[in-house]
Chains A and B, each alone.
Chain A
Amino acid sequence: MIRLRRFLHGFFRRWTAPLGLAIFLLVLGMALSAPYVFPDDPFAMVTRPLLWPGESRAYLLGSDMLGRDILAGIFHGARVSLAIGGAATAAALGVGVLIGALAGYYGGLLDDALMRGTEAFQTIPPFVFVIVVVVIARPSIASIVAAIALVSWPAVARLVRGEFMALRHREFVQGCRAVGMGDVRIIFRQILPNALAPIIVTASIMVATAILTESALAFLGLGDANVMSWGSMIGAGREMLRTEWYLTAIPGLAILLTVLALNLIGEGLNDALNPKLRDR
């Protein structure tokens, strides 16, 4: 209880983290409610093309060149952004934590191989690599998630490895060994919980980065063609940038706000979980 209160105190100490949480909950609400609030296909033509925002009361954010409701697109796009951001981060965390924990705990050959591998990997531009994977595997939600996870796990592995290397010689770990606890239990039940704080903070930033990457892919025309995405809305709106710039501006603002919210949450988590760093 005291830990929870201290956590909440740290998180809500500044106004920025609650603001981030509020925006995030709003986006999450849009994502969850999209099929109920806008049950129709967001690709369907519902009204006169190129209504400006505010021009029609029924279509608050206006319509695009094909008469599709922009607000419906924003709602359905929130689903895609959050799903891809969440899934890619979960996958990267799974792989990164496992490999980082093993390398940090055991050291030796595994550790060397991991470090050389991630170093060689770092010389390839990550975004170019994501594009290569998505094009080769054909653009779909699954291939986009896999590609983003593929470039993000090395950072997690390095972070977890560092934490494990710092913790593995601590007294509580030696105590566990002394009472005959197995390696698997020490890694996952004893050390990992102690290394969780920086992992959680990193995860919130990773979701934000994944959302930015997905939108960039969709903007280049490499999104999943079957779902409405904020990035593809920008890509389509770009054709009419000179006159109908709201087509580009609105989905971009949605991305900006969502990513901003996740970054603010990340900062708040950092404040709450690393109280020592609070005043820096």
Chain B
Amino acid sequence: MLARPGLTRFLARRLAQVVPTVLLIVVVNFLVLHLTPGDIVDVLAGEAGAATPEYVAMLRQRFGLDRPLSVQLASYVWGVATGDLGFSFRHNTTVARLMLERLPATLILMGTSLALAVTLGVVCGVTAARHVNRPADGAIAVLVLLSYATPTFWIGLMLIVLFSVKLGWLPTGGMMTIGVDLSVPRRVLDVAQHLVLPAASLALFYAAIYTRLMRASMLEVAGQDYVRTARAKGISEARVTYGHALRNALLPLVTVVGVQVGSLLGGSVLVESVFGWPGLGRLAFEAIQQRDYNLLLGILLMSSLLVIAINLVVDLLYALLDPRIELR
């Protein structure tokens, strides 16, 4: 279905659009961070206690912070364009290597949470719509309201109390058991066990949004002619729901998922902090606190690219779900 003539042209045009957006993001992020008072040298000097002006000047020169801002900007943009994201003086390694190290953990967490939230949202939303204004609908509405109002970090802590401290079923934090040598399948199981609570905490809020959205869009679709036709043909209610109505009702959900990827990354800062999950969100938070601007710029750029990439996938999914939609 995706192999249509417009696809190559569509991708080419979208990639051409990405370049100015990314450039804008890089420049704005850079200027915002560098025009504000306080840089990494201030932090380092503060930590060292009494730092002489000569030492501070020496550090600035070593980090290239004594050059005019325009020169710094130009060299940063050139670096990004050639794939060099700079050096993290705090971690004493390149930004690219640091991020690649942490990226898998975040992708595992975000991917699992998103899959969980979408699955829950679709199942609960469709169930609510099929039983509209009946007890099942009401029960789901109450759950949605509660999940929507629960702070992500707090539900994480409460899940730790219940499932780790009281019941002892799941680990309290981290991504894997450290210091033991496990075979690959056991290691996967080990990571999965560590993943349950963080993924559930992060997914809860989004599951609530998706449930509400799916319910509304299923009800919207249910009134349309083609659904009535399907019913009139004598197709079973389940097939009408899952075969005919669901496919169209998924469109608004797909849009919202695309828009919310950035917010999901923000949520993972909290969840990673609660569970000690070694991902990008935690790295970003540390980078902000330590004024490690090269690292922070790299992470912001990466998350923007992630959002742009996911929105591209969303547009492709749209065309897959509804062949009438043209790829533009």
Binding site for B on A (CB under 8 A): 16, 119-120, 122-128, 131-132, 135-137, 208, 212, 215-216, 219-220, 231, 234, 238, 241-242, 245, 248-249, 252, 255-257, 259-260, 263-264, 280
Please, which residues of chain A bring their CB within 8 A of the CB of B28? Answer: 120
Once bound together, how far apart are the Cα atoms of A260 and B208, in whole Å? 13
Please, which residues of chain B bring their CB within 8 A of the CB of A127? Answer: 263, 266-267, 269-270
Question: Across the interface, do A245 and B303 meet the contact criterion of CB distance under 8 Å?
Answer: no
Please, which residues of chain A bring their CB within 8 A of the CB of B21? Answer: 119-120, 123
- Having A234-B151, A248-B158, one finds 10 other A-B pairs with CB under 8 Å, namely A123-B262, A125-B262, A128-B299, A131-B269, A132-B32, A132-B33, A135-B289, A220-B273, A248-B161, A259-B151
Main secondary structure of the interface of B (DSSP, over half): helix
* 9 nearest CB pairs, A to B: A127-B266, A252-B154, A260-B149, A259-B149, A125-B266, A123-B304, A125-B262, A125-B265, A123-B307
Check B285 for interface membership: any CB of A closer than 8 A. yes
Check B82 for interface membership: any CB of A closer than 8 A. no
Given A215-B151, A263-B145, A264-B145, A128-B303 contact (CB < 8 Å): yes
Once bound together, how far apart are the Cα atoms of A238 and B276, in whole Å? 13
Question: Across the interface, do B154 and A256 meet the contact criterion of CB distance under 8 Å?
Answer: yes
**Shortest distance from the beta carbon of A133 to any chain B beta carbon, whole Å:** 9
Subset of 17 A-B contacts with CB under 8 Å: A120-B21, A120-B24, A124-B300, A125-B265, A128-B303, A132-B296, A136-B33, A216-B151, A216-B270, A234-B154, A241-B165, A242-B161, A248-B154, A248-B157, A249-B161, A256-B151, A256-B154
Once bound together, how far apart are the Cα atoms of A241 and B162, in whole Å? 11
Instruction: Name the interface residues of B139-187: CB closer than 8 Å to any CB of A.
Output: 145-146, 148-154, 157-158, 160-161, 165
Question: Across the interface, do B157 and A252 meet the contact criterion of CB distance under 8 Å?
Answer: yes
Say which residue of B161, B262, B263, B281 sits within 8 Å of A245 (CB atoms).
Answer: B161
Residue of B nearest to A234 (CB): B154
Given A120-B21, A128-B265, A220-B270, A263-B149 contact (CB < 8 Å): yes
